[in-house]
Chains A and B, each alone.
Chain A
Amino acid sequence: MSDNLREQLLLLPAYFQGHLLLTLAAISMGVLISVPLGVWAEQSARVKRPLLAVVSIIQTFPSLAILALVVALLGGRIGFLPAFIALTLYSMLPIVRNTVTGLESVSASVIDAAKGIGMSPNQILREVKLPLAMPVIVAGIRTAMVWTVGLATLSTLVGATSFGNYIFTGLQTRNLVAVMVGSFASASLAVGLDGLVASMQWLLEKRSEAVDSARLKRIRLSVYGVTAIIVSLALYGLIPKPRADFVVAGKPFTEQYIMAGLLAQELEEAGFSVEQRLGMGTAVVYEAIRNGTVDVYVEYTGTVWANFMSRESNPGREGIRSGVVEFLEEQNVTTLGFTGFQNRYALAMRRDRALELGVTSIEDLIPIAAELSAGSDLEFFGRTEWFRLRDLYNMDFADKLTFDTSLMYTAVAERQVDVISAYTTDGRVAAYDLLLLDDPRNALLAYDAMILASENAAAQPKFVQVLDSLVDSISDEAMRQANRLVDVDGESISVALEYLGDEMAKN
C-alpha cells in the first residue's frame, strides 16, 4: 500500500464519523419536520401549494449558496450547525412531496370503510393512511438520504468534517488518491444507508407475518445490529471532545493546506493541541476568525483590500499593508505578521511564446492584445483588478476564457490560450516555464501573505511568541517550490512541510 493511501485511510475514521453524524442528524430532523408538514399539506389545500412551492424553491438554490446563506444567518457561525441546517432544508422536498403523494394515493373506499366502522380522523391517519402511504414516504426518505450523503461533502466548505475533506483537499492538491477515497467512501455510505432503510422497510412489511422463519429472524437481527452500530458511531461524535487549544483554518488550495499545516505544526511542537479546519471558503473563514470560531489562518492583503474593504484603488504594496492591518484591527482581528512571500495575480505566458512576440511586460501586450486569447481562474475577470488593468493599459483580449485553476495552467502550457492570470507562488509557473509579465502601471494588487489571529488567541503571549517564528520566514521562491512539490510532483503536504522546514532552518 502506498504511503499516500495509508495516510488517507488514517483519516477515514474521523471523516466517516463526521459525515455519518451530519447525514443522520439532518435526515432525522428532515423526517421529523417533513412528514408532519406533508400530513398537514394533504389535509389542507391552502397549505399544500405554498408549502410545496417553498420546499421546491429551496431545492433549486445552489447547495453552496444555501450553505453560505445559513452561515450568514447564523452570524458567521461555522461547523456542524450550519451544515446540519442546510442539509435538513435540502432533505425536505422529497419527503414532503412523497408524504403528500402517498397519503393522497390511499384508496377512497378504504378511507370510507375506516370512517364507516367508526375510526376517528386521528385513527384513520395513524392506522390506515400513514401505514398505507409508508412505502411511498420511505421512498422519499431514501431519495433524501442519498442526496444528503452526497451534499454533505460540501459541508467541508463551512468547516464541518465530512468525506468532503478528502475531496476538496484532494482536488486542490492534485491528490487523486484522496479524491477517490472520499468519493468511494461517500458513495458506499449512500448505498449502505439506502440498503439499511430498504431492509428496515422490508422487515416492517413482513411484521404481520405470524410465524417468523429462521431466515427472517436472522435478517432482522443483522439489520438491528447494523443499525445499532451505525447509530452509536454517529452518536459517539456527539460526545464532546476536549476542545483543542487552537483552531487552525485554511482555504481550499494547496498553499493554504501547506500554511495551515505549518501553523499547526508550530503550535503542536510548542505543546498546544490543535484542530484543523481545512478547505473553507474565503468569506466563511474570515467571518470565523472575527467571531473566534477559528483562531489562526493565513490571509492575503489584496484579498482583504478588495473583498472585505471593497477598495477599488491601488495605493501600492505598503499602502495596502498598512490599510489592511488598520482595518483588521477595527474588526478585532490581529495581524501577527507577514510571512515574507507574496501570492498575487500576474499575467503569465509561455516563455517561448513571449519571446516570439517580444513581450516582457503588460505594456508590450497593448498593440497585440486584440489578437490574443486569455485564460483565468473562475474569479479574475470579475475582479476590479482586471477592470483597472484593462483601463490603465487600455487594452482587452480577443477571447477571455475561465477555467478551473489547474486546467488554466494546462491551457497555457498547451497553447490553447496565450496569456493567463497566474498566481505568483504557484509551483506550476516554474514547472511550465511561464514568464510573469511586469506590471509597470501598477494595475495588479499586492497580496502579502499574513498570519491572522482571533482576538482571544492573540491575547495569549505564548501563542503569539510561537508563531512569531513564521514571520518573514518564507520567500516567494521557497513557497513556490513547496507548492510545486505538491501540485507538480504529486508529493503529499507533509513532504512540502518538511521542505519548508529545511528552508527555514537555513536562514
Chain B
Amino acid sequence: MALIMIELKNVQKSYDGGATLAVANTSLTIERGEFLGLIGASGCGKTTTLKMINRLEEPSSGEILVNDRNVVDQNPEQLRRNIGYVFQGIGLFPHRTVAENVAAVPRLLQWSAGDIRARCEECMEMVGLPFDEYGDRSPSQLSGGQQQRIGVARALAARPEVVLMDEPFGALDPITRSELQEEFKSIQQNMALTVVMVTHDMTEALLLADRIAVMREGVVLQIGTPKELLNNPSHDYVRDIVAMPRRRAQRLEELMRNE
C-alpha cells in the first residue's frame, strides 16, 4: 500500500485561455489517512484545486496521482464514485428524497437494496439526522445546516478512502458545527480517511487538520502542521492568517477583562 494517497506535481490551471491563472504551479503530497486543511481568501483557487483531484476540472499542465495512479488514466466516473465529495453549494438533488440523496453513490455502484438501506441509516445517524425521521423528506424541507449535513452523509455513504470537502460546515451554527467537527474527526480517524477540506475558518483548520496548506492567488505559500505554521510562518500572510484565532481570543479576553 502506498504511503502517499494524493500527489500533485507542478499542477497549473488557467481559465479563459490563460487569462485567469486559478492555480499556479502547485506541488503537494497528501499521505494516506492524513487530514489536510486548505485555507485562503476567496478566489485563491481552493475549489479549483479540489476539483482537479477528482477530474471535475482538468489541469492545464502537470499531473495528479491518486493512490499512485495518474487520474487521467482512470475513467472519470469510476474515479469520482470512489472519492467522496462535499460540494460548496451542497448540490442535493431536489427531486429526490433525503434518503435517496444519501444513497446516490452506492446506487451508482450497484450495491444491493439492503446494503444501501443499512448504510443510509448508518450515515444519517452519523450526521445526526435519523433516517426514520428525515429519510422521506425532500431536501427543501431541511434547514440549510441540515442540508449540509446530508451533503456530508452522501459523501461518506460509499465508504470512500478519500473525501474532498469544500466548506462542509459553513452554514452551521457554532454549537452544531463543533459537534459535527468532532464527530467527523473521529470518523476520519477510525476509518483512516484521507481528507482534503477547504475552509475559510482557521480555527476549524487548526482543530481538525493534520497539516494546513495556505493558498494565496493560486499559489500554496506554505504547507505544514499547525505548529510549524504558528512557529515558522514563511510569509507575513501566513503569519497573519494563522495568528487570527489567537488574536481574536486575546481580543475577547480583553473585552471580558474590561467589563
Same complex origin of A and B? yes
- A interface residues (Cβ-Cβ under 8 A, vs B): 109-110, 112-120, 123, 128, 131-132, 208-210
12 contacts between A and B (CB under 8 A): A109-B87, A109-B89, A113-B85, A113-B89, A113-B90, A113-B92, A114-B91, A115-B80, A116-B85, A117-B85, A118-B80, A131-B95
Given contacts A109-B89, A116-B91, A118-B81, 12 further A-B contacts (CB under 8 A): A112-B89, A112-B91, A116-B87, A117-B81, A117-B85, A118-B76, A118-B77, A118-B78, A128-B93, A208-B96, A209-B136, A210-B136
Which residues on A sit within 8 Å (CB–CB) of B96?
208
Q: Which of B56, B79, B91, B100 has the most CB of A within 10 A?
A: B91
In the bound complex, do residue B93 and residue A112 qualify as a contact, i.e. CB atoms below 8 Å apart?
no
Which residues on B sit within 8 Å (CB–CB) of A113?
85, 87, 89-93
Interface size on B, residues (CB 8 A): 27
In the bound complex, do residue B56 and residue A112 qualify as a contact, i.e. CB atoms below 8 Å apart?
yes
Q: Which of B79-119 contact A (CB under 8 A)?
A: 79-82, 85, 87, 89-97, 100, 104-105, 108
* B54 in the interface (beta carbon within 8 A): yes
* B149 in the interface (beta carbon within 8 A): no
Which residues on A sit within 8 Å (CB–CB) of B54?
116
Within the assembled complex, what's the spacing in Å between the Cα atoms of A273 and B58? 74
Which chain A residue shows the least CB distance to B76?
A: A118
Which residues on A sit within 8 Å (CB–CB) of B89?
109, 112-113
Pick the residue among A109, A123, A132, A208 that contacts B91 (CB under 8 A).
A109
Pick the residue among A117, A131, A208 that contacts B104 (CB under 8 A).
A117
Within the assembled complex, what's the spacing in Å between the Cα atoms of A113 and B139? 14
In the bound complex, do residue B108 and residue A208 qualify as a contact, i.e. CB atoms below 8 Å apart?
no
Q: Shortest Cβ distance from A204 into chain B, in angstroms?
A: 10
Which chain B residue shows the least CB distance to A121?
A: B77
Pick the residue among B94, B108, B154 that contacts A110 (CB under 8 A).
B94
Which residues on B sit within 8 Å (CB–CB) of A123?
108
In the bound complex, do residue A117 and residue B90 qualify as a contact, i.e. CB atoms below 8 Å apart?
no
Q: Shortest Cβ distance from A123 into chain B, in angstroms?
A: 7
Q: Shortest Cβ distance from A74 into chain B, in angstroms?
A: 43
Which chain A residue shows the least CB distance to B95?
A: A131
Which residues on B sit within 8 Å (CB–CB) of A116?
54, 56, 80, 85, 87, 91
Q: Top 10 nearest A-B pairs by Cβ distance?
A: A113-B91, A118-B81, A109-B89, A118-B80, A109-B91, A118-B77, A116-B85, A210-B136, A131-B95, A113-B87
Which chain A residue shows the least CB distance to B138?
A: A208
Within the assembled complex, what's the spacing in Å between the Cα atoms of A109 and B167? 14
In the bound complex, do residue A117 and residue B56 qualify as a contact, i.e. CB atoms below 8 Å apart?
no
